[in-house]
Amino acid sequence: AQKITQTQPGMFVQEKEAVTLDCTYDTSDPSYGLFWYKQPSSGEMIFLIYQGSYDQQNATEGRYSLNFQKARKSANLVISASQLGDSAMYFCAMRETNRDDKIIFGKGTRLHILP
Amino acid sequence: EADIYQTPRYLVIGTGKKITLECSQTMGHDKMYWYQQDPGMELHLIHYSYGVNSTEKGDLSSESTVSRIRTEHFPLTLESARPSHTSQYLCASRRGSSYNSPLHFGNGTRLTVT
């Protein structure tokens, strides 16, 4: 069965520092995709970044980058130069092609940025 | 500007009532999903659909049912609401033909069963 693990329930980081949010996954499907979403206290789900299993390079989107280590089945989100507005819940999610694009989420990490 | 709409935004209902949570999207996406999320907690997949007349159950055991008669519409029905159904329900869609297409979420329906 597919599974997403986020081992950090909460993190506190000083403003302007970089932060890494961990995500490991388990799948037997060779074709899959990994997403990161941000959910502020207002509740909306905001897409941040995507990494495909066959992508040769780590994904980057502005201050967000994904440290993808396929052999270790990890897809950690790196936020550079953190800002107060980065305080939110962060979810890692996985899509499996062979499961009709079923998408499941991890338990999330609550990130607090300190001024 | 939302392209995926959920109604109602909030619903308070008594035990035993039948309810339908509406979800519509105007993006022509073939894949649609329903998630259940308690505040600040993980999202549990309860149903998904990869096209018209195709629906699948997710990992979370649910007493709800869904239908997908039209591409744009993916309603979720609870035949008999119970207090354990109190939660937020999030609908999402994505373009299946594009492998890196992200989920687009609605604003959610916050359901309270008394």
- Chain-wide mean pLDDT for chain B? 92
How sure is the predictor about B62, in pLDDT bands with cuts at 50, 70 and 90? confident
Token pair listed for A73 = 């089945």
| Whether residue B96 has pLDDT greater than 90 | no
3-state secondary structure of B79: coil
| A41-55, B21-35, B96-110, range with the lowest pLDDT | B96-110
Distance from CA of A13 to the nearest CA of B (A): 19
Determine the Cα–Cα distance for residues B10 and B112; give it in Å rounded to an integer: 8
Determine the Cα–Cα distance for residues B25 and B68; give it in Å rounded to an integer: 12
What does the pLDDT read at residue B11? 97
Q: Does A8 touch chain B (CB under 8 A)?
A: no
Closest by alpha carbon to B103, among A103, A110, A13, A22? A103
Tell me whether residues A45 and B92 touch, CB distance under 8 A: yes
Average pLDDT over residues B55-68: 88
What does the pLDDT read at residue A2? 59
Distance from CA of B51 to the nearest CA of A (A): 10
Average pLDDT per 10 consecutive residues for chain A, totaling 115 residues? 86 97 94 95 93 94 96 97 97 85 92 97
3-state secondary structure of B93: strand
B residues 55-94 closer than 8 Å to A (CB): 56, 58-59, 88, 90, 92, 94
Distance from CA of A47 to the nearest CA of B (A): 7
Determine the Cα–Cα distance for residues B95 and B3; give it in Å rounded to an integer: 13
Q: Which amino acid, one-letter code, is at A26?
A: D
What does the pLDDT read at residue A78? 98
Q: Do the bridges between strand A88-96 and strand A109-114 make them parallel or antiparallel, or are there none, so unpaired?
A: antiparallel
Tell me whether residues A89 and B43 touch, CB distance under 8 A: no
3-state secondary structure of B33: strand
Q: Does A62 touch chain B (CB under 8 A)?
A: no
B45 and A103 Cβ atoms separated by less than 8 Å: yes
